[in-house]
Amino acid sequence: MNWLVLALILPLAGVQASEIVNDVTRLNPIRVDQVVRPDSVGEIRKLVSEARGPVSIGGGRYSMGGQTASEGTLHLDMRSMNRVLELDVEGKRIRVQAGITWRDIQEAIDPHDLSVRIMQTYSNFTVGGSLSVNVHGRYIGEGPLVRSIESIRVVLADGSLVDASPTKNSEIFFGAIGGYGGLGVIVEATLSLTKNEKIERTRQRMPAKDYSHYFRSRIRDDRNVVFQNADLYPPFFKTVNSVEWRRTEKPLTSEERLIPRDRKYLFQPRAIRTLNHLPGGKILRSALIDPLITAKSPVVWRNHEASYDVAELEPPSREKTTFVLQEYFVPVGKLNEFIPRMRKVFKKHRARVFNVSIRHALPDPGTLLAWAPEEVFALVVYYEQGTDERAKARVADWTRELISEALAVNGRYYLPYQIHATPEQFHSAYPRAQEFFLLKKKLDPTNKFRNKLWDRYFTPILSKSNQDIKTRLPASK
């Protein structure tokens, strides 16, 4: 068969030859061997069991450091696994294929007045990608996504299909959730849901040093607060704007159930970029623009507030500069110690930080790569960086410094973003990685499931025996 015929046939069969897999930042192009878009569990089992080389797994591709691919892999693009399998309205639970997005789920459950319990701020992400990162959102009284998961189904390296929950195959449940595709392909998940309710927005502005106390006394235990986050404003990082959404019986100010899929975002991305570049732009945003935008108290459906599209943030171009995220988790009692440390690093390196959003999470019930082993505040850093090699190196420098500052207050950093941490920093932040690696060696003895995250921290120690892994890895905190 000649190349022309192959080129015509393969895409029809859901297979594309050698292709670049990249992420939303456009900073991580990776040439994989082949991209396949399976649409059934049977097809995934066959592809994985018959794969002679390494396999990588991708969902929405919104992670930002090559976590979805590695050179020469067979890449499973999970986005055709997008069906709702079962909706139990009475029992408030849903079983879905892992390539479905939160947005697709919202459209299925909104007519039944149900809502996703835990997800990110935006709705474009897949369930499989979100589970593998163990994401979180702005929900009060919640935390990592694992808290809302009843069970998952996983295809392991030998093609076997395993059901896992906190009580059945719990090792796989707590390893695969937050496991960045290292143990197998999550093909299905059962999630618990909650009621869709009317919510009203209010805001409170205060000095950053008062926020921790404010949160503990006014937000943490208020069962009426559904969403809450606080913006910590650059360039001084001394003022906080807490944005709170509480249950209400007041009439809606917008009848929309969900934000329309085709909404055009022409103003926001340009405004973000312009304000970031304008002298005094950040001060203008903190003192004038944000207070004006959030001055009103809209009343909307919970699902509406959970249906944002990442297009809202997309800049007109990512060629010379790009917008990127990072995140740090600190024990709740350490927030006031961490903020000045973070401020110092940003100032020293003149980091082009646009926003730091502070969120809260209750503890993780036991995932091996937990970012919230205890109750934490999460600090999400949104910044702009150049795409040339010098700019990348500069960001790598300040990122490692910031990780050290987080570790110094017993905190952690988030793994779906650029992979700058040294192996020592990785193991200090994730002391149970040793257990995760031993489990990976048991379930995936040929290191079939790969991506840039595991190429960096797992593959170099692979040839060692299990005992060696334990003794060779940096000591746990």
Ligand X SMILES: Cc1cc2nc3c(=O)[nH]c(=O)nc-3n(C[C@H](O)[C@H](O)[C@H](O)COP(=O)(O)OP(=O)(O)OC[C@H]3O[C@@H](n4cnc5c(N)ncnc54)[C@H](O)[C@@H]3O)c2cc1C
Site residues for ligand X per CB under 6 A: 24, 57-63, 67-68, 78, 98, 120-122, 125-126, 128-130, 132-133, 135-137, 180-181, 185-186, 310, 313, 325, 416, 451
Q: Using the minimum distance from each CB to ligand X, give the nearer residue, 286 or 355.
A: 355
Distance, CA of 25 to CA of 321 (rounded, Å)? 9
Smallest distance, ligand X to C-beta of residue 104, A: 12
Distance CA 345, CA 380 (A): 15
Amino acid found at 257:
R
Percent composition of the chain: helix, strand, coil (DSSP 3-state, to 5): 35, 25, 40
**Nearer Cβ to ligand X (315/386):** 315
Nearer to ligand X, 57 or 369 (CB): 57
Nearer to ligand X by Cβ, of 268 and 297: the residue is 268
E-state strands within 285-371 = 299-301, 321-331, 352-361
- The CA distances from residue 163 to 172, 188, 190, 328, 421, in Å, are 9, 9, 11, 32, 33
CB atoms inside a 10 Å sphere around CB 334: 19
125 vs 458, which CB is nearer to ligand X?
Answer: 125
The distance of closest approach from Cβ of residue 318 to ligand X in the complex, given in angstroms and rounded to an integer, is 12
> H or E stretch including 146?
none
Measured from the CB of residue 397, what is the shortest distance to ligand X in angstroms?
23
Instruction: Considering the complex, state which of residue 378 and residue 469 has its C-beta at the smaller distance from ligand X.
Output: 378
Q: What are phi and psi of 370, to 5 degrees?
A: -65, 135
CB of 96 to ligand X, least distance (A): 11
User: 211 or 227, CB closer to ligand X?
Assistant: 227
Position of minimal CB gap to ligand X: 129
The size of the chain, in residues, is 477
CB of 41 to ligand X, least distance (A): 11
Least spacing, CB of residue 37 vs ligand X, in Å: 12
CB of 469 to ligand X, least distance (A): 21
Please spell the DSSP secondary structure of 247-284, one letter per residue. E--SPPS---SS--TT---SSHHHHHHHHHHSTTHHHH
- Cis ω for the linkage preceding 316 (within 30 of 0): no
